[in-house]
Chain A
Amino acid sequence: MNEGIQQELAENRASSVSGLDEDSSYMGPSARCVLFTLEDEIYGIHVKKIREVLRVGKIRKVAGTSSSVLGVINVRGVIVTVLDTRIVYGMQPKPVTDLSRIIIVELDDEQTVGMMVDFVMEVKDIPESKLEPLSSTKDNASRYIQGIAHYQGNVIILIDVDSMLKELI
């Protein structure tokens, strides 16, 4: 191994360590979440509920379904229902853009559902100490919300996928 590469590795290590230090000197338990946006808000879903994130391909419409269902897609031979997350959360629909993604969430080992979102930001470890349950907002909205986190100057809305989907099935 030559010195150049070693140097580079060392720097990488240093930067990643410093990156962590910058946000949180605290190293307690954290929840790893995928962050995405709808309109101007940031939402988070715990990674253990997420199977994958897909680019938007062809979505096959299914006549007779509710308006929150965009249709079905083929994920490697499995038919997956895609929800328009905007409509589920009571927002106006918006056309698909290059940034739109479908987050495939797991209900259980076999059942998966796709959630169309505006933009997928990143995967973040959110320290549990930053999580707080939602104080009283409107009843009907809070069903899907597990809590919120104030983190790095953002407000992240954490979604409880199970209760959200239970509601829709």
Chain B
Amino acid sequence: MDEDILQDFLVEATELVDQLNEQLVDLEQSPSDRDLLNAVFRGFHTVKGGAGFLGITPLIEVCHRAENVFDKIRNGDIEYDAAAADVILRAFDVINDSINKLNEGSRDLPENDPSLLAELDALTKGALMEVPEPAEATASSEPVLQLEEGLDPDGDITDEEFEALLNQRDLMLEDADFAQEAPSSAPNVPELKLDEGLDPDGEISDDEFEALLNQRDMLEMAAMESAPEPAVEPIVEAKPAAPSPKPQPVPTSSEASGGVKAPAKNAAESTVRVDTKRLDEIMNLVGELVLVRNRLLTLRSSQGNNEDLSNAVANLDHVTTDLQSSVMKTRMQPVKKVFGRFPRVVRDLARKLGKEIELELRGEETDLDKNLVEALADPLVHLVRNSVDHGIEMPEDRVKAAKPRKGTVILAAEQEGDHILLSITDDGKGMDPDVLRRKAVEKGLMDELTANQLDDKAAFELIMSAGFSTAEQISDISGRGVGMDVVKSMITKLNGSIDIHSVLGEGTRMSIRVPLTLAILPTLMVSFEEDNYAIPLTSVQEIFDFEPDKTNKIDGQMMVRLREKSIPLYFLAEWLRPDRVKDSYEDDKVVIVSIGNQKVGLVVEQVNGQEEVVIKPLGVMLKKVSGYAGATITGNGSIALILDLPGVIQRFQY
């Protein structure tokens, strides 16, 4: 299997699968939407084409059958009802898994479950019995590449053989498409047109031949425009306009370009795929440019009166700022990328639990840093599952509570300054703070007195502590595996926060606030003499002067008293400046940070204030050194090390 071609296929297939995921659920809502049906059909067909070329048999089998089913649906032979959707979605899951496995590097896919294939066949056959005719279309839509005799299909092939296969394949895809675009009478499709009066079977002159060639090129151009990577992975739906190799008489070229059905591809035409590493590189260089600009700005103010210089620097200032924000934007992806999977998640869950739920997506177009989009997927799935499973009640209970049978879950995203606010709102039963308080006592998390002192908000937050599950019964949907505590730590890792608001009987709203980008981190700059360190600001709770008479040494550990609580103190200098003996910590500062549900005080020499920094990796040589999350370059060009608080704590605790 050619690894490069496989990678290209995977990139495209992954996108297609993402689209299909959404389209399939949409389709269930509006089963008669022709465009959607066609899009789904094309999606399966394209994946099959690529898989066929690479000889990934399990994938071909499923795609092929799914495609057949959709062909029937397109022709109105069968309905896309919930039962059909279940089978198709299962088939889709198999495809999705296969693609994921390939993406993860595994090259051997398991055999398909024969019952699934049989069910898919049954779906198609159900239609066949009513309409026996379209067998021809089925047959023609199955391109099989033929190796020349005597070649080992698993062995290496030469370039020529490869080329030959490629050509074969293209031809087949075209043929298949001709057949599908017009199942009734195949040759009646856009092709090249001979001038009037010419005998199509007769000899043609060179000029006429030229003219035909030109026509052909035009058609090809039209096809190319809608197919971004035709060489590697010819996008099938864009190809019907491609010519058949021999000039034959048929309609006009304008019809041909009209035949290019690629409405969804229009957006893709104006985009380019760029390696994220390259973007990171550009980000980095822009960061440097900003530093140079800053230096120029300081120089300008010291030079004073040169107006030209001053204007030029001011200009540079504007351009750099714009450049910086444009480059930042290139890393952004719409949050739709994460939201896209939820209609399916909610649909499946609702069907399984026998609930009626409508999922509303809002603010899908909100842009978010690429890494964040990926990192948010799991926590959000968990929260949405929670809403569906624990939040929304059974339809009968809802009716009894004078609510509409159908529950609503709203998944929303919006930008809030330099943060993104994601919220999951349900109109379910809400949470009872008293039950939570009682649970906390039962689980031994706290005594009754403390529990009763918690206000409602603090009580809701209990669900995010480790070992806290309110589900009386553990279902296979939630209440096991990733708990809310994991969700919280994942969000914390992204420098975000979670807020819970719930009204008993009315519903729950979980709000997640994350920074727009992971590349820039708000920090608190602290220092020991000239050495700068950055502490992630989200963990910083408060800062106060170190006062020796407020500390106690308990079991060998220095503690500081803060509002009737003792908090362990870690003297960072012991670790960071081991060569220096420090006898007095007078005038030092204590920075209280919280990590998870633990609070500690870090003793530092100086606090220099807030700074937003660009995180840079420390490199392979220092990867193993714990306690650092990376480094950054400060405004004056010096390096500050960014502390990784869990790592720091570990250093001091063990």
Q: Which of A65, A69, A83 has the most CB of B within 10 A?
A: A65
Which of A31-39, A46-54, A55-63, A143-151 lies at the binding interface?
Answer: A55-63
Kindly list chain A residues whose C-beta atoms are within 8 Å of the C-beta of B637.
74
Establish whether residues B639 and A60, one from each chain, have CB atoms under 8 Å apart when the complex forms: yes
Q: Which partner residue on chain A sits nearest B291 by CB separation?
A: A77
Which of A93-101, A107-115, A155-163 lies at the binding interface?
Answer: A107-115
> A108 to chain B: closest CB distance in Å?
9
Establish whether residues B288 and A168, one from each chain, have CB atoms under 8 Å apart when the complex forms: no
Establish whether residues B627 and A64, one from each chain, have CB atoms under 8 Å apart when the complex forms: yes
CB contact under 8 A between A65 and B622, given known A72-B631, A74-B633, A79-B631: yes
Establish whether residues B639 and A78, one from each chain, have CB atoms under 8 Å apart when the complex forms: no
Which of B224-232, B316-324, B571-579 lies at the binding interface?
Answer: B571-579
Establish whether residues A63 and B639, one from each chain, have CB atoms under 8 Å apart when the complex forms: no
- B619 touches A (CB below 8 Å): yes
- A169 touches B (CB below 8 Å): yes
Q: Which partner residue on chain B sits nearest A65 by CB separation?
A: B625
Residue from A60, A77, A81 in contact with B284 in the complex, judged by beta carbons closer than 8 Å: A77
> A76 to chain B: closest CB distance in Å?
6
- B628 touches A (CB below 8 Å): yes
A87-130 vs B, Cβ < 8 Å mask (1 yes, 0 no): 00000000000000000000100111100000000000000000
Q: Which of A77, A78, A112 has the most CB of B within 10 A?
A: A77
Question: How many B residues touch A, CB cutoff 8 Å?
Answer: 31
- A73 touches B (CB below 8 Å): yes
- A42 touches B (CB below 8 Å): no
Q: Which partner residue on chain B sits nearest A112 by CB separation?
A: B619
The number of residue pairs between A and B whose CB atoms lie closer than 8 Å in the complex comes to 74
Residue from B277, B576, B621, B623 in contact with A63 in the complex, judged by beta carbons closer than 8 Å: B576
Kindly list chain B residues whose C-beta atoms are within 8 Å of the C-beta of A78.
284, 616
Establish whether residues A72 and B578, one from each chain, have CB atoms under 8 Å apart when the complex forms: no
Kindly list chain A residues whose C-beta atoms are within 8 Å of the C-beta of B616.
77-79
Establish whether residues B633 and A77, one from each chain, have CB atoms under 8 Å apart when the complex forms: yes
The complex places the Cα of A46 from the Cα of B633 at a distance, in Å, of 31
CB contact under 8 A between A113 and B626, given known A74-B637, A76-B288, A77-B287: no
> A35 to chain B: closest CB distance in Å?
24
Kindly list chain B residues whose C-beta atoms are within 8 Å of the C-beta of A131.
none
Residue from A60, A63, A77, A81 in contact with B288 in the complex, judged by beta carbons closer than 8 Å: A77
- B285 touches A (CB below 8 Å): yes
Establish whether residues A61 and B619, one from each chain, have CB atoms under 8 Å apart when the complex forms: no
Q: Which partner residue on chain B sits nearest A63 by CB separation?
A: B576
Q: Which partner residue on chain A sits nearest B634 by CB separation?
A: A74
Kindly list chain B residues whose C-beta atoms are within 8 Å of the C-beta of A169.
620-621, 623
> B608 to chain A: closest CB distance in Å?
16
- B618 touches A (CB below 8 Å): yes
Establish whether residues B622 and A81, one from each chain, have CB atoms under 8 Å apart when the complex forms: yes
- B531 touches A (CB below 8 Å): yes
Establish whether residues A58 and B638, one from each chain, have CB atoms under 8 Å apart when the complex forms: yes
Establish whether residues B628 and A62, one from each chain, have CB atoms under 8 Å apart when the complex forms: yes
Kindly list chain A residues whose C-beta atoms are within 8 Å of the C-beta of B291.
77
B283-303 vs A, Cβ < 8 Å mask (1 yes, 0 no): 011011001000000000000
Question: How many A residues touch B, CB cutoff 8 Å?
Answer: 26
> A163 to chain B: closest CB distance in Å?
15
Establish whether residues B620 and A107, one from each chain, have CB atoms under 8 Å apart when the complex forms: yes
Q: Which partner residue on chain A sits nearest B647 by CB separation?
A: A64
Establish whether residues B284 and A64, one from each chain, have CB atoms under 8 Å apart when the complex forms: no
> B277 to chain A: closest CB distance in Å?
7
- B617 touches A (CB below 8 Å): yes
The complex places the Cα of A28 from the Cα of B292 at a distance, in Å, of 46
CB contact under 8 A between A62 and B625, given known A74-B633, A78-B616: yes
Kindly list chain B residues whose C-beta atoms are within 8 Å of the C-beta of A60.
531, 631, 638-639, 641
Residue from B288, B622, B638, B651 in contact with A62 in the complex, judged by beta carbons closer than 8 Å: B622
Kindly list chain B residues whose C-beta atoms are within 8 Å of the C-beta of A65.
622, 625
The complex places the Cα of A141 from the Cα of B285 at a distance, in Å, of 39
> A50 to chain B: closest CB distance in Å?
17
CB contact under 8 A between A83 and B621, given known A60-B531, A72-B631: yes
Establish whether residues A79 and B626, one from each chain, have CB atoms under 8 Å apart when the complex forms: no
Residue from B285, B617, B627 in contact with A79 in the complex, judged by beta carbons closer than 8 Å: B617
Kindly list chain B residues whose C-beta atoms are within 8 Å of the C-beta of A107.
620
Establish whether residues A64 and B625, one from each chain, have CB atoms under 8 Å apart when the complex forms: yes
Kindly list chain A residues whose C-beta atoms are within 8 Å of the C-beta of B288.
76-77
> B533 to chain A: closest CB distance in Å?
10
Kindly list chain A residues whose C-beta atoms are within 8 Å of the C-beta of B622.
62, 65, 69, 72, 81
> A147 to chain B: closest CB distance in Å?
25
> A25 to chain B: closest CB distance in Å?
43
The complex places the Cα of A58 from the Cα of B291 at a distance, in Å, of 17
Kindly list chain B residues whose C-beta atoms are within 8 Å of the C-beta of A73.
639
Establish whether residues A77 and B285, one from each chain, have CB atoms under 8 Å apart when the complex forms: yes
> A162 to chain B: closest CB distance in Å?
12
Q: Which partner residue on chain A sits nearest B621 by CB separation?
A: A81
Q: Which partner residue on chain B sits nearest A169 by CB separation?
A: B620
Kindly identify, within residues 564 to 615 of chain B, every residue whose CB is under 8 Å from any CB belonging to chain A: 575-578
The complex places the Cα of A111 from the Cα of B576 at a distance, in Å, of 25
Q: Which partner residue on chain A sits nearest B618 by CB separation?
A: A79
Residue from B277, B284, B287, B618 in contact with A72 in the complex, judged by beta carbons closer than 8 Å: B618
Kindly list chain B residues whose C-beta atoms are within 8 Å of the C-beta of A165.
621
Kindly list chain B residues whose C-beta atoms are within 8 Å of the C-beta of A77.
284-285, 287-288, 291, 616, 633
Q: Which partner residue on chain A sits nearest B283 by CB separation?
A: A77
Kindly list chain B residues whose C-beta atoms are within 8 Å of the C-beta of A168.
621
CB contact under 8 A between A63 and B578, given known A77-B285, A77-B633: yes
CB contact under 8 A between A79 and B639, given known A72-B631, A74-B633: yes
CB contact under 8 A between A61 and B618, given known A72-B631, A76-B288: no
The complex places the Cα of A80 from the Cα of B616 at a distance, in Å, of 10
Residue from A61, A69, A81 in contact with B531 in the complex, judged by beta carbons closer than 8 Å: A61
The complex places the Cα of A76 from the Cα of B284 at a distance, in Å, of 9
Given contacts A69-B621, A72-B631, 5 further A-B contacts (CB under 8 A): A60-B641, A77-B616, A79-B639, A81-B620, A169-B621
**Interface pairs A-B: 8 shortest CB-CB:** A81-B621, A77-B288, A60-B639, A63-B576, A79-B631, A77-B284, A79-B616, A81-B619
B interface residues, Cβ below 8 angstroms from A: 277, 284-285, 287-288, 291, 531, 575-578, 616-623, 625-628, 630-631, 633, 637-639, 641, 651
A-B contact pairs, 16 of them (CB 8 A): A58-B638, A60-B641, A61-B531, A62-B628, A62-B641, A63-B577, A64-B651, A65-B622, A76-B288, A77-B284, A77-B285, A78-B616, A79-B619, A83-B621, A111-B619, A169-B620
